[in-house]
Chain A
Amino acid sequence: MNAHVSSRADDGPLLRVSSVSKSYGARTGCEDVSFELWPGEVLAVVGESGSGKTTLLNCISSRLLPTSGSVSYRMRDQTWRELYRMSEAERRFLMRTDWGFVHQNPADGLRMTVSAGANVGERLMAIGDRHYGNIRSTAIDWLGRVEIDADRIDDEPRAFSGGMRQRLQIARNLVTSPRLVFMDEPTGGLDVSVQARLLDLLRGLVADLGLAAIVVTHDLAVARLLSHRMMVMKDGRVIETGLTDRVLDDPREAYTQLLVSSILQV
């Protein structure tokens, strides 16, 4: 894979996660996870339910304070900032400008009672855009990019199908040109043909925009299609990591072999 080819030599990683652990009392959410994410790179985190994938994602996306460890992010001005040393205002600003978060259930990430256009425009208004015409034309442009007809712009997401909602959620996140997007099971709950279209769309967007992304999924096919690199988690720990094709074609850990061999063949 050519994840690093596009980044210049003076570019470092975008995100640095070191020894992140999260315990819920005596139970372990995730333990001692470290990795780096480079600009334009898509990392898949796979594992079965309860393996700590979502806990990890929440810890590194400022949604859940880890018990120990640190998460650092290289801001647009190239300074490194430690996530949990930033003020809450800065974190929230980062979350709605330079980052995106795509929830598994679109209702969690969308405002279901306002129109599609307002959903896409919200981030623009949050960073100070006060020109209705501009906001609307940007929203129409983004709806087009996620294959939603422009004449649906004034419909509420409640009137949308599951696949459309998910695409709307993606447009809403990408409108401020973030550099890093977190996705929690982005195709969960969609039927396979809709999944395929969404994956195709995501792959195109990620490549066009040069996005870095962390995708949590239990679906190895999603990981195969979207990601450059993957981490396999079990019981809160990362047990195997490597290029996606290598891990899937030549799994080393017994558990990874089990996971790969569990894929249904049609």
Chain B
Amino acid sequence: MSDIATYNFAYLDEQTKRMIRRAILKGIAIPGYQVPFASREMPMPYGWGTGGVQVTASIIGPDDVLKVIDQGADDTTNAVSIRAFFRKVADVETTTDTTKATIIQTRHRIPEQPLVDGQTLVYQVPIPEPLRFLEPRETETRKMHALEEYGLMHVKLYEDIARNGHIATTYAYPVKVEGRYVMDPSPTPKFDNPKMHMSAALQLFGAGREQRIYAIPPYTKVVSLDFEDHPFEVQTFDRPCALCGAEQVYLDEVILDDRGGRMFVCSDTDFCEKRREAGHVGELGMAMEDVR
């Protein structure tokens, strides 16, 4: 730890943490409900995960092991710097291994490795209100949530089908939590929506700029909205991961050259690395021993 500035454990002062914990507890008690909280200025710009960082700072303890992923990857700027931040201000152990982590802060993905009891997934949320783009008035959207008037959400899906022939929403796909609140799962791909359903892990969502916290307790029903004749379905990929050969996982496209060369690789880097360690090789990959 730096000896120039002395931070309180996990950066936030204790009063702020209590305030945020109260919001989290309320969110857990009312699954999917957006609880307002007094979001603080964090030493990072809005949009970089200020909500997620505040939630993580409020729940982390000295014994926790923290993993941070950004678009599935452990090694992107955002993930690396948030891990470094908590190493510095909370002196906690960090990891890239999904199974070792007790708290996983994420932007846009849920790990491929199924989460287990005792793990907490913290989402960074840019726009918590699923109805926002159809109804700009906050007073009105709050009323719609209160009175369970969710017809408008289907108007959005109707528009998708009318314009594209199928539900073209691929991320931030609205879900209904425990049969009551309609919730925006943050910009995760809809590929990950089924993972939220009856998950063993506690899922917390923090939106710093919009000052909202919401939660899905473990083993909660999370259903993606759809039409009877256009049921919800996830993306499928027509080829396996080019590095580890995994199927039924979410893939990122990587451009290889300026002549149209490309490959599709696991967006979850930890998952991909573990598979390669175990000897799986995709069409463009090399066996791990050869890499070394």
Contact = CB atoms under 8 A, between A and B. Distances in A.
A107 interface: no
A130 B227 contact: yes
A53 B59 CA distance: 58
B145 to A, nearest CB: 12
Interface size class of A (residues with CB under 8 A): 20 to 34
Contacts of A118: 155, 158-159, 162
A114 B159 contact: yes
Contacts of A127: 151
B142 to A, nearest CB: 12
Given A130-B227, A130-B228, A154-B163, A135 B158 contact: yes
A103 to B, nearest CB: 16
B13 interface: no
B230 interface: yes
B60 interface: no
Interface in B123-144: 134, 143
A207 interface: no
A114 B229 contact: no
Contact of A153 (B161, B162, B226): B162
Given A114-B159, A125-B158, A131 B151 contact: no
B161 A115 contact: no
A132 interface: yes
B230 to A, nearest CB: 5
Contact of A132 (B147, B151, B158, B163): B158
Interface string B214-236: 00000000000011111000000
B14 interface: no
Contact of B229 (A123, A126, A131, A154): A131
B91 to A, nearest CB: 50
Interface size class of B (residues with CB under 8 A): 10 to 19
Given A92-B147, A154-B163, A121 B158 contact: yes
B147 A89 contact: yes
Nearest to B148: A89
Nearest to A113: B134
Contact of B155 (A111, A130, A133, A153): A111
A232 to B, nearest CB: 36
A31 interface: no
B162 A131 contact: no
A135 B143 CA distance: 25
Interface string A130-151: 1111011000000000000000
A137 to B, nearest CB: 11
Contacts of A125: 151-152, 154-155, 158
A262 B228 CA distance: 57
Interface string A88-119: 11001000000000000000000101110110
A122 interface: yes
A123 B158 contact: no
Contact of B147 (A88, A133, A135): A88
B147 A122 contact: no
A92 B146 CA distance: 12
B151 A122 contact: yes
Nearest to A154: B162
Contact of A131 (B143, B156, B163, B227): B227
Interface of A: 88-89, 92, 111, 113-115, 117-118, 121-123, 125-127, 130-133, 135-136, 153-154
Interface of B: 134, 143, 147, 149, 151-152, 154-156, 158-159, 161-163, 226-230
Given A89-B147, A115-B163, 13 more contacts: A114-B134, A114-B155, A115-B162, A118-B162, A121-B158, A123-B151, A125-B158, A126-B152, A127-B151, A130-B228, A131-B229, A133-B229, A136-B162
17 contacts: A92-B147, A111-B155, A114-B159, A118-B155, A118-B162, A121-B158, A122-B151, A122-B152, A125-B158, A126-B152, A127-B151, A130-B154, A130-B227, A131-B228, A135-B158, A154-B162, A154-B163
